[in-house]
Every structure is written in C-alpha cells, then in structure tokens.
C-alpha cells in the first residue's frame, strides 16, 4: 500500500471534500424541491441523533485505530495491526448490535418523549440500518488513515454522495404517496444507502485476503489483544467524551440562547429569527471552508503518530507548521472575503443582508479555527487525546456561561451569543497551542503568520475598491461582488508568492516527499 505524505493526503481529501461539498449543496437543493419544508423538518428532527448514534457506535475507535496503526506501521509490526483491527471491530460491532436492538425496541418511546412531531418516528427508524454500517466503516477509515493512504477515503466520500443523490429522488418518489412522514424516512434511508456504498468500496480497497487474515488470527495472543484494547480505549474514551460533550452542548445551547434572548425582552418570533440568522446563515458560511481543516486533521493524526513513535520531534513541529500554513492559505482569504463582502454574500445566498453585522463580528475570530484543528490533531497523534478533550470542554463551558451576561446584562442580544461563541474558538486554540508547545516545542512561526495576514490587508482593500468601481459603472451587485472577490484572491496569492511567504518549489517538494 502506497504511503502518502502529509500534504499529499491532505490535498487528496481536500479535493474530495470540495466535490462532496458541491454534491451536498446539490442534495440540499434537490431535497427542498421534492420534499418541501414540512418533510425536511421531520427529517431534521432526527438528524442530530445520527451524530449521537455515530459517537456511541464507534466509541472514538476510528481516531484511536488511526493513531495506533500508524505507530505499528512505523515499527513494522503487521501482526499488531491485525490484532488492532480485530479488537476494534469486535468492540464497535458489539456496541452497534446493542444500539440497533435498543433503538428498534424503544423507538416509539424515544419518539414520544423526545421528538416534537410523532411523524418523525419513521425517520428515526430509518437510522437503524446506518448503525452497523458506521461501526465497520469507521474502523476501516481509521485503518487507511493510519496507513497514510487517503485515496480510498476520498473516493468513498464522493461515492457516498453520488449514491445518496441518486437514491434520494427514487426513494422519496416511491414513498411520498404514503405520506410526508414516509417521504422524509426515504431521504434518511438514501443517506444510509450512501454510507453502505461507501463501505463496500472501502472493503474492496481493503482486500478480502486481509480480512481473512484478521479472522484467522483472532485467537492468537489473546493477552496481547487485551493490551491493544486498553491502548485503543485510552484514546477512544477521550475522543468519545469530546464528541459526546459536543453533541450534548448542541442540545443544551439552543435552550440557553432562547431563554437568554427572551430575558433580554425579545418576543419568541424575534428570538427564532435572530437565532436562525446566526446558526442558519452565519455559521454555515464560517464553516464552509472547513473541509480543508477536516482533511488536514485526518491526515495529521497518523503523520504525527508515526513521527512521535520514532521520537522525531523536529519532524512533528515541521508537520504541524506545514498543516497550519496550508490551513491559513485558505483561512485568511476566506475570512477576509466574509468580512468585506458580508452583505453581498448573505443577500445572494440567503436574501438576508441584515445578518451582515453578525458575520463581520465573527469572521475575524473564527480565523483561529484554522489553527485549532491542526493543533488538536497533533495532540491526539502524540497520545494526549484526554488533554485535547479538556482543552475543548473548558472553553465551551465558559462560552455557555457567558451567553446570559453578554446577551442580557450587557444588552448585546444575539451579538452577545456570537461573541461568546467566538471567544470559545480563541480560547480553545490558545489552550491547544500551549499544550502542544509543552510536549513538542515551538511549532508556529509568528513571522510567517504575520506575513500571511499582512498580505490579506491590501488584498481586501483592492477587492473592495474593485467592487466599488464596478458598481460605479452600473454593473450588477452580484457580478460586482464576484469581481471584487476574484480581485482579492488574485492579489492575495500574488503577494504570497512575490513576498516568498510561500514558495511554489517548497509546495512541490512537500507534495513529493513521503
């Protein structure tokens, strides 16, 4: 199996992530056309449970498998890799079996107690086939990440979206005659079918002979397998705690926000409108380039684990620096575009230019997100997953505690919610950097970050002047904004290469290096 360099793997996943984002956007349009708002609402009622099911099913094993396989690969211990796969599959399939039977048996009671509309019960039941699929695919994905071969992961993401789109229309049309609740369930089933198609491709990439060896050697070195289980659990429990906390926070946060805004004097309809602007318009734009962060985070864990296993801490800091620089190459112009063209972007996509103030307020702070992901993945790769989790939990708790005083006592309203969320991102990043600095040494050159940010300032001014000039010549709003964004990007990347902040030759060397 061909091993890829950090930037090679990240580039492959980024390209696939971009395609997946476009296909996901097409899926959203298709759903709105064939389902309608009411059926989409029924589907969305159960989708938060999909994330929770994935957390409980996989138990953090994919990240743990990625790290431990990378370390075993570095030492050439193929037997350990097979034992890791067998142990992790056994654990996740056991959890998946219990969860599948539990959801099937208690489904009606769960729907009655937790779902606002009982018709969403059918969508909840449509999640059941996804549980065992996620159990196996999570482990196989972790294996490929650990072997630092991202091609199967990238292709499987695209296959998943294509199958989902193809079956979405078919299943919804077949079930729509029976009612909206069945149509919504059909959309969920299309997602499960996409996951299954992705898993089938991964298993073929994995090679049946490898699966046979795993099963054949399952009884060998049982005491050693217990050691591997403890090693996986140490990382997996921390990762599960991190994901579970985030899921819990997503469930609690809307209640805290809505009650705080009501206390600030807003009526329920105004609360819903302002909360919708922040979470439905602003956050999706802030996180749209997030596939770059995801790609780097996935590729970084095994790359750091391998270097850490060999005690090559200079290589660790170099890889972290590479990841941050690559992330900022996208993050800085993205944040600049969202800040400068906030009104135009919101008007074009959502017809909501009134949310521009919130976008401008949060865009500079969320630039820290492009530091945070590589730093967190590096800590996990070095075996400090629990510390990475704590560094996330503390800022999120502080953010939750600040919502009421900022929104009500300081009378900031929804802007107070945005400030609290932004402070959490900044604090998370600082804590992760300090922790990584402690274990691996300095991994960030402030001069490089300053030069990259410095290139963004004149580029932003040039982009806005271009937009303003086009408007003087009576060019349409959307076309003028597009011209301004193109001018901003052109000058930014020109300055990046002219000032030798990033050298094209160094990028080519990094992409070729293994």
Give me the pLDDT at residue 509, please: 42
CA–CA dist 190, 23 (Å, integer): 14
The H helix count followed by the E strand count for the chain is 22, 0
CA–CA dist 463, 338 (Å, integer): 12
Q: What is the pLDDT of residues 431-444, one digit of tens each?
A: 988 888 887 777 77
Tokens of 443: 């991994």
Nearest to 141 by CA among 47, 16, 44: 16
Give me the pLDDT at residue 209, please: 45
Query: What backbone phi and psi angles, to 5 degrees, belong to 317?
Result: -65, -35
Give me the pLDDT at residue 458, please: 92
Give me the pLDDT at residue 54, please: 76
Q: CA-based Rg of the chain, rounded to a whole angstrom?
A: 24
Q: The pTM is what? A: 0.67
In Å, what is the CA distance from 196 to each residue of 190, 199, 483?
Answer: 10, 5, 42
Give me the pLDDT at residue 511, please: 43
Domain boundary assignment for the chain: 1-220, 235-444, 446-512
Query: What backbone phi and psi angles, to 5 degrees, belong to 302?
Result: -65, -35
In Å, what is the CA distance from 159 to each residue of 24, 162, 205, 419, 468?
Answer: 12, 5, 13, 38, 42
Q: Where are the alpha helices (DSSP H) in 310-384?
A: 313-340, 342-350, 356-362, 369-381
Give me the pLDDT at residue 336, please: 92
Residuewise pLDDT in 10s, the chain (514 residues): 555 555 565 566 666 667 776 776 666 656 666 666 556 666 666 776 777 777 777 777 777 777 777 777 767 767 777 777 778 888 888 888 888 888 888 878 877 776 656 777 888 888 888 888 988 888 888 888 777 777 787 788 888 888 888 888 788 778 877 877 788 888 888 888 988 998 898 888 876 445 545 545 554 445 455 555 565 666 556 666 666 676 667 656 666 777 787 787 777 667 767 776 777 678 878 877 766 766 677 667 667 777 776 777 777 788 787 778 878 888 889 899 999 999 998 888 777 788 888 999 999 888 888 888 788 878 877 777 778 878 888 888 898 888 889 888 888 888 888 899 899 989 998 998 888 888 777 777 777 788 888 888 999 999 999 999 998 888 888 899 999 999 999 999 888 888 877 665 454 444 444 4
Give me the pLDDT at residue 514, please: 47
């Amino acid at each position: 199996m061909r091993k890829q360099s950090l930037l090679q793997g990240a580039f492959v996943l980024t390209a696939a992530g971009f395609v997946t984002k476009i296909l996901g956007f097409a899926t959203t349009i298709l759903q709105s056309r064939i389902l309608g708002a009411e059926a989409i609402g029924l589907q969305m009622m159960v989708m938060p449970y999909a994330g929770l099911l994935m957390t409980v099913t996989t138990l953090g094993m994919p990240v743990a498998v990625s790290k431990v396989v990378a370390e075993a690969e570095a030492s050439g211990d193929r037997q350990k890799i097979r034992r890791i796969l067998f142990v992790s599959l056994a654990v996740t399939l056991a959890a998946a079996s219990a969860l599948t039977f539990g959801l099937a048996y208690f489904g009606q009671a769960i729907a009655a107690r937790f779902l606002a509309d009982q018709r969403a019960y059918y969508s909840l039941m449509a999640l059941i086939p996804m549980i065992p699929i996620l159990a196996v695919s999570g482990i196989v994905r972790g294996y490929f990440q650990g072997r630092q071969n991202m091609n199967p992961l990238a292709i499987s993401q695209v296959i998943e979206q294509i199958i989902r789109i193809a079956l979405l229309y078919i299943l919804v049309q077949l079930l729509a005659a029976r009612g909206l609740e069945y149509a919504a369930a059909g959309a969920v089933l299309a997602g499960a079918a996409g996951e299954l198609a992705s898993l089938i491709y991964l298993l073929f990439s994995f090679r049946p002979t490898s699966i046979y060896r795993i099963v054949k050697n399952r009884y060998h070195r049982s005491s050693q397998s217990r050691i591997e289980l403890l090693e996986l659990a140490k990382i997996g429990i921390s990762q599960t705690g991190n994901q579970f906390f985030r899921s819990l926070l997503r469930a609690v946060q809307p209640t805290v926000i809505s009650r705080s805004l009501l206390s600030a004097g807003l009526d329920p309809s105004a609360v819903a409108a302002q909360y919708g602007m922040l979470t439905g318009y602003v956050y999706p734009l802030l996180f749209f380039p997030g596939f770059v962060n995801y790609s780097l985070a996935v590729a970084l864990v095994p790359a750091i684990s391998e270097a850490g296993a060999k005690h090559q801490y200079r290589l660790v800091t170099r890889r972290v620096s590479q990841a941050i620089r690559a992330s900022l190459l996208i993050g800085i112009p993205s944040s600049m575009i969202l800040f400068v063209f906030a009104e135009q972007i919101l008007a074009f996509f959502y017809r909501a230019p009134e949310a521009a103030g919130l976008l401008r307020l949060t865009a500079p702070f969320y630039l820290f997100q492009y530091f945070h992901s590589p730093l967190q993945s590096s800590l996990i790769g070095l075996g400090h997953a629990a510390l990475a989790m704590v560094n996330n939990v503390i800022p999120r708790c502080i953010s939750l505690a600040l919502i009421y005083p900022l929104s009500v006592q300081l009378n900031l309203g929804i802007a107070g919610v945005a400030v609290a969320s932004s402070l959490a991102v900044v604090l998370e990043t600082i804590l992760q950097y300090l922790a990584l600095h402690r274990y691996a040494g300095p991994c960030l050159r402030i001069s490089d970050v300053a030069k990259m940010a410095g290139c963004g300032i004149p580029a932003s001014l040039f982009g806005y002047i271009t937009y303003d000039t086009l408007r003087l010549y009576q060019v349409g709003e959307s076309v003028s904004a597009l011209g301004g964004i193109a001018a901003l990007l052109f000058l930014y990347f020109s300055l990046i290469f002219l000032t030798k902040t990033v050298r094209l030759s160094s990028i080519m060397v990094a992409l070729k290096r293994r």
